[in-house]
Amino acid sequence: MTRDLRSIIRKADDDNEHFLGEVLDEEKKARLDRIRALCREISDEEPEIRANFLPFSNRSRNGTASLIFPSMLFCANANVNAKLSEIFSMTDAFVTTTLQGTLKLSFIVHDMWSKFGYDNDMEHGK
């Protein structure tokens, strides 16, 4: 890894660590709330699928919601399929991970804050 790439990665990590949201983007918050509600509904309809949410705070740039599937699942429930389609249509990005025989889909809404700063402005040149 080159020195420039390392400094870019270090700066990105530092920005995330010291991030401090000030004004929430209400449209994005409503979208995240809808995604989370759909994840809960899916989990209620299909007990094998679990919903998982990280607490959202002003220390997070992005909002996330996750569904955890067993490694083998056949789902012919039209309601669940429609809700998954709606979730995918509202997300800015998604990530898949596998762990101990499960598949985790994480749905991400980027840049939840219309105004933000950093809790350590000296390190951020302000």
pLDDT digits (tens, 9 = 90+) for 90-116: 999 999 999 888 999 999 999 999 988
Closest CA to 58 of 126, 11, 123, 116: 116
Q: What is the pTM of this model?
A: 0.81
Question: Residue 115: enclosing H or E segment and its boundaries?
Answer: strand 113-118
What is the reported pLDDT for 95?
A: 92
What is the reported pLDDT for 56?
A: 85
At 61-89, the pLDDT tens digits run 899 999 999 988 887 889 999 999 999 99
- Written as six digits, the tokens of 111 are 């840049």
Closest CA to 65 of 94, 28, 100: 94
